[in-house]
């Protein structure tokens, strides 16, 4: 990535990196989800996220050069623009559902915003992504509604609290406030106040990104420049 003033492709890369890294985390459930149905569901969501990442990278590559794979795999970890929320390893179901729901809620706000972009290709792509993300939100909503009994509610509440500062780091300014309003409206029992710390906001990375990147790129790095 060249060092230059923020451009319209920066926001695109941020969204693409979020989708790639979250898709990667979703794939960690493959084969070990709580039920076969959820295994299939998370696999399907992971495929959508990776597919969205690819489409966003392709659009970004028109401005930055390179191709989608190079953007996805050939940057150093510090160059990724994903938010810390998606980097977190959350291989516990309540944590996964909390992150899933918070991310999908924030992502809906971001995609709505993108559909109004004056960059026609981005607006068109955002409308396409929006159609698929609607199903992710239905899935996330279903789980939030389902985990309402005593033990489950306590687990979900704790998981939401843990993820909340990171969730506030997905979006900035007016979009963040719109996200906060939606969370408060949907979960009246949850305290949606506060601000993200520097370590929760986009631009910071958690210690969990490096091992993820090591694993994600290990085959590709093993024979540099090869076709796979």
By the criterion CB under 8 A, which residues form the site for another protein? 24, 27-28, 30-37, 39-40, 43-44, 46-47, 50-51, 53-54, 57, 68-69, 72-73, 92-93, 146-147, 149, 151-152, 155, 215-216, 218-220, 222-223, 226-228
CB 171 within 8 A of CB 111: no
In the complex with another protein, the residue whose CB is nearer, 91 or 134, is 91
In the complex with another protein, the residue whose CB is nearer, 19 or 104, is 19
Place of tokens 């992504």: 129
| Burial annotation 92-129 (CB, 10 A radius, 16+ → b, else e) | ebbbbbbbbbbbbbbbbbbbeebeebebeebeebbeeb
Nearest distance from C-beta of residue 106 to another protein, angstroms: 23
**Helix and strand tally (H, E) in the chain?**
9, 0
State how far the alpha carbon of 144 is from the alpha carbons of 92, 186, 216, in Å: 15, 10, 30
Interacting residues of 87 by C-beta distance below 8 A, sequence separation 6+: 21, 25, 205, 206, 208, 209, 212
Nearest distance from C-beta of residue 118 to another protein, angstroms: 28
CB 83 within 8 A of CB 18: yes
Nearest distance from C-beta of residue 176 to another protein, angstroms: 29
Nearest distance from C-beta of residue 194 to another protein, angstroms: 28
In the complex with another protein, the residue whose CB is nearer, 39 or 112, is 39
Nearest distance from C-beta of residue 179 to another protein, angstroms: 26
In the complex with another protein, the residue whose CB is nearer, 93 or 166, is 93
In the complex with another protein, the residue whose CB is nearer, 31 or 120, is 31
In the complex with another protein, the residue whose CB is nearer, 12 or 53, is 53
Beta bridge partners of 193: none
* Dihedral of alpha carbons 41, 100, 128, 31, sign: negative
Nearest distance from C-beta of residue 199 to another protein, angstroms: 25
């Amino acid at each position: 990535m060249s060092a230059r003033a923020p451009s319209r492709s920066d926001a695109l890369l941020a969204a693409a990196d979020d989708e790639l890294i979250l898709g990667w985390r979703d794939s960690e459930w493959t084969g070990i989800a709580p039920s076969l149905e959820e295994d299939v569901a998370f696999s399907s969501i992971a495929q959508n996220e990776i597919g969205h990442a690819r489409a966003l990278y392709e659009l970004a590559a028109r401005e930055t050069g390179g191709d989608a794979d190079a953007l996805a795999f050939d940057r150093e970890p510090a160059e990724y623009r994903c938010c810390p929320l998606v980097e977190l390893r959350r291989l516990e179901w309540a944590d996964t559902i909390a992150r899933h729901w918070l991310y999908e809620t924030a992502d809906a706000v971001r995609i709505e915003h993108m559909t109004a972009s004056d960059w026609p290709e981005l607006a068109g792509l955002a409308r396409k992504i929006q159609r698929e993300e609607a199903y992710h939100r239905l899935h996330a909503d279903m789980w939030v509604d389902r985990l309402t009994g005593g033990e489950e509610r306590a687990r979900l509440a704790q998981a939401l609290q843990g993820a909340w500062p990171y969730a506030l780091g997905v979006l900035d300014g007016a979009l963040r406030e719109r996200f906060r309003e939606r969370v408060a409206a949907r979960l009246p029992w949850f305290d949606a106040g506060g601000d993200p710390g520097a370590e929760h906001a986009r631009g910071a990375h958690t210690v969990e990104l490096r091992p993820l990147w090591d694993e994600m790129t290990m085959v590709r790095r093993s024979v540099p420049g090869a076709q796979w």
